[in-house]
Structure 1
Amino acid sequence: MKKSFSLAILILLSSCREYKALMAEQSKFNSEKKLTFNDDSKEAFNVNINGINHNLFFDTGAGVTLINNAKFDLNDKKIIRQKKIYGFDKKTLSTSTTYSVDSLKTSLFTTKNKYLYVSKIENIRNCSQDKYDGILGNFFSEIENQIELNYEIGYIKIVENEIDKSGYSVLDATFNPISGKFSVKIEVNGISDYFLFDTGNKMAILINNGVYKVLPEKVATISSQNLAVNNTVMIVKIDVYQSVFAMSDDLVFNQYVGIDNTSERSILNQQFIKKFNWIIDRKNKKVYCKAININKLNSVYKIPSRKELSGEKNEKLVVTFCIENVSKYNIGDEIVSINNQKVTAANICEMQILLNKTEDWATLQLETIPAKS
């Protein structure tokens, strides 16, 4: 596997064992094969790790591959580093293991001694049924040829010969030689910025608040609560604005975007990316895009019918998502009972599933305790 010379800076950033493990990776790519998405959602790939199949979410915004609760036994000799972190509740234990697997295989490539992360969270109830076994991080930095990312059919392919780019718009791009992450230059409301190409972003497209200081009228504010691996809670508020995107002189359309006080860079989201077929050219620092259906590019923000979501926090059922000035609830409000049935440790998952399957909470009789300000 070819390594960028700039990889040497990792010596300053990581342990000698991590650096050696990363350099021990050996990848072989097959340009005659396609890596096909698992299903019509076009979000994940089948990845064989140490002989066991894993359903991994494809995340171009992630520089590393991560698996949750490994399906194989960890070999002490292959562990590079391990951290254990207790949450503020003194019960939740998160274990993060830097590990070198013997093999990671897809139809497109095989990597021996693959450096990745294994996470495990213990002593915590998981009410959601996550269909993914982890994240397949960006592997584009290892491919010298052009890469075709086709969302119309649903595959990734290495292009050895020149590909027909008729109907494609060309975008300037920047590439990180280590992580494989890349950003494309897009004009929004007459101002250009580089947007991180992030298939892992399932929220709104975010814009850099340092670049886009003058914005049109706000159309909504969305609040969400995220739980970090150490059981700390992050509350994010995103203001939504309607904007005009220009990918080229002939490709101009309406698109809503989000911004918050921490938006220090611009980031595309999965929904936007899946509207195009892409050709990624690292060598010439260009990315080409072609709309799958030009009539479906305009994206005008509409208040969704679902205005709230719930989740567990410290063994309590709380509001974790809401649209301000539309929902009657706030982030962190505790749901004490539903339809006169008290929420308990024994039924909290059942109650969470009921809430999150109900589009309109007004159809339910909810008793709540307001969140502390």
Structure 2
Amino acid sequence: MSIHISHITRLDQSGHKHILDAISLTVEEGEFVALIGPSGAGKTSLLRVIAGLDQIEKGEISFDGQHVEALPPQERNIGFVFQNYALFPHMNVADNISFGLRLLPARSRPSKKEINQKVLKLLELMHLPHIADSYPHRLSGGQKQRVALARALATQPKVLLLDEPFAALDPLVRKNIRRWLRNLHTELGLTTILVTHDQSEAIEIADRLVVMQNGKITQTGHPHLLDTKPATTFIMEFMGETLTFPCSIKHNLVVPNNPSLLPFAAAVPEGPAEAMIRPYEIALVPGEGQARISRYEHRGEHLYLEIETEKDPLSIRIPYTAQTLPSGPIGIDISSARLFRNGHYLEETSQTGNTLVYSI
């Protein structure tokens, strides 16, 4: 099922502050989309609006072209998994999973035998066939997560909404569960929207990322696009560790203010700019500058380096190899940097000679 959201606006209780500010988004059938951004960005609010749990002041929501703004949650054919799982402690696992089925109107409610069969099938799908009679307090975090997913899937929804579903899990279980969830999404042909504050998690599991900030969508796209061409400095920093260097651009040459950093070519508009780069993208060029390595430490697959430059000291990491580090002066190559002006990405000149500046 496809989801189309058009100019959704939601205000806080005061009626003055925007929680969601004219949000528009389309999620295609079978797509796995991750909503990412800092706390307070509006991610969970958008998910709850799609589910029908929160009301909107303006805008439209449609599923497969059919408007659903006026429909209650139970009529939207969605499955919702909350951050705290929301399992009923007084019910065993089988009863938790079958809860939604037993609430269906009599005309569409399966028989007791059919409900039991469906519960067993879902437990098999979740790789939990042995815990039907267990109660939530006896389950591990990963088991609770899968039971919550089974309950959300029991009514055979076409859309699955997940609100920080892995937040309470330890890192190893978290990694295994999200891979399993991605496979489940594909196997069942679901349309899935995940809310997470963990960009690495979103990159691993989602087809497309939607970055939110202050109740607005700032950029959407494949993870590679958001990393290589982030629309704003905020997105660049949110997507991973970043180093920032002021520079000036003239005649298609980027000249960092720090003379230890080597100039590099870029066909972008002239003027002051910021060059932003991941620490592991920096390269060292022996004999090309006046910087020197003052300290290094080997950790796993990387070398962590402290470098004295002609201005401020610099901390970077580079892939570990058996090669000897240069002991003499070095230049610092930041030619893989993204360039920004006034907080916005500078697009390189197109082949037709027209300069494009990315705007939002």
Given the two structures, how large is their TM-score scaled by the length of structure 2? 0.28
Given the two structures, how large is their TM-score scaled by the length of structure 1? 0.27
- Between Structure 1 and Structure 2, whose CA radius of gyration is higher? 2
Q: Larger helix proportion, structure 1 or 2?
A: 2
Q: Larger strand proportion, structure 1 or 2?
A: 1
